[in-house]
Amino acid sequence: MAIAIEATRPHHSLWGDAIIRLKRNRFAVAGAIIIFLITMLAFLVSVFSPYRFDQQDLNAILQGPSKAHPFGTDDLGRDVLTRLLYGARTSLAVGIFAQFIVLIIGIPIGAFSASASSRVDNFIMRFVDVIYAFPDILFIILIRSILGGSIYMMFLAIGLVAWVNVARLIRGQVLFQKQRDFVIAARAMGASERYITIKHLIPNSLGPVIVAVTFNIPRAIFAEAALSYIGIGIKPPTPSWGTMIRDGYDVIFAAPYLVLFPAVAIGMLMLSFTFLGDGLRDALDPRLRR
């Protein structure tokens, strides 16, 4: 006789289950740890660093890593490690705050498009397709060159181009959720369309949006670094990894570390967010729930 074993599993909510699965993904965990460490260090640099990021010491120009300056000094005698961590602030700020713009623009447009008539929806989606088809970094450069140099404008420039992903995603999700049973039930109970959209559809669509945003962050970080490298990014003296590369490139043969550290930092931070995003995507995929 075949023995049937009835296994009982503890019941998890979608989020609880997701966290458990996420913890199992070693790359995602590593990424999250690195992000956390960099963020903490960036926050606390003003506390434990003996230098200010713009503090020049013309007696200590272009020194390699030493006890006094663990990552060396640049051509104006500024401590590289300190500048690197302040640069982390810039990168993280741009990466994360640009996403607010993305969400503020993307979610309403996506939700609206999904709830609107099909002609309006089509029109909006064509428009989105156009922006999507075009290389985003060029647009960002264009917008940036118009809007000017402050960091807030940087958020705006990146956000104005990156919202399309989220809008599309939300629209797809809303359209999908709209025909699910609990929505029909809510409607039958007399709820208005707007109520349904806000209280039911959007929260249920959050999963993919979180993943999309997590993937957007490294792209924003890269955009900022690239723009700063070209020269239309963050204005000095605010440190930015891109600017550090630009400045350090002139003396690359004498002091390659000036370029190496920021480049590696960019790569590591981007990679960490991507691993985290991969992990989140797998963790939040309802089809993989066991």
Applying CB under 8 A, which residues contact other proteins?
Answer: 1-3, 27, 126-127, 129-130, 133-135, 137-138, 141-143, 145-146, 218, 222, 225-226, 229-232, 245, 252-253, 256, 259-260, 263-264, 266-267, 270-271, 274-275
Tell me the closest approach of the beta carbon of residue 264 to other proteins, in angstroms: 8
Q: Please check whether residue 253 is in contact with residue 75, taking contact to mean a CB–CB distance below 8 angstroms.
A: no
Helices vs. strands in the chain: H and E counts, helices first: 11, 0
What are the C-alpha distances in Å from 200 to residues 172, 181, 192, 286? Answer: 15, 12, 11, 17
The residue among 142 and 185 lying less far from other proteins, judged by its C-beta, is: 142
The residue among 198 and 264 lying less far from other proteins, judged by its C-beta, is: 264
Tell me the closest approach of the beta carbon of residue 167 to other proteins, in angstroms: 16
Nearest to 244 by CA among 94, 46, 82, 68: 82
Q: Please check whether residue 76 is in contact with residue 61, taking contact to mean a CB–CB distance below 8 angstroms.
A: yes
Tell me the closest approach of the beta carbon of residue 269 to other proteins, in angstroms: 10
The residue among 144 and 200 lying less far from other proteins, judged by its C-beta, is: 144
The residue among 50 and 135 lying less far from other proteins, judged by its C-beta, is: 135
The residue among 157 and 284 lying less far from other proteins, judged by its C-beta, is: 157
Nearest to 213 by CA among 284, 145, 111: 284
CA dist 2 and 70 (Å) reads 67
CA dist 160 and 147 (Å) reads 12
Tell me the closest approach of the beta carbon of residue 51 to other proteins, in angstroms: 25
Tell me the closest approach of the beta carbon of residue 200 to other proteins, in angstroms: 34
The residue among 167 and 259 lying less far from other proteins, judged by its C-beta, is: 259
CA dist 46 and 52 (Å) reads 7
Tell me the closest approach of the beta carbon of residue 271 to other proteins, in angstroms: 5
What are the C-alpha distances in Å from 60 to residues 47, 56, 247? Answer: 23, 9, 17
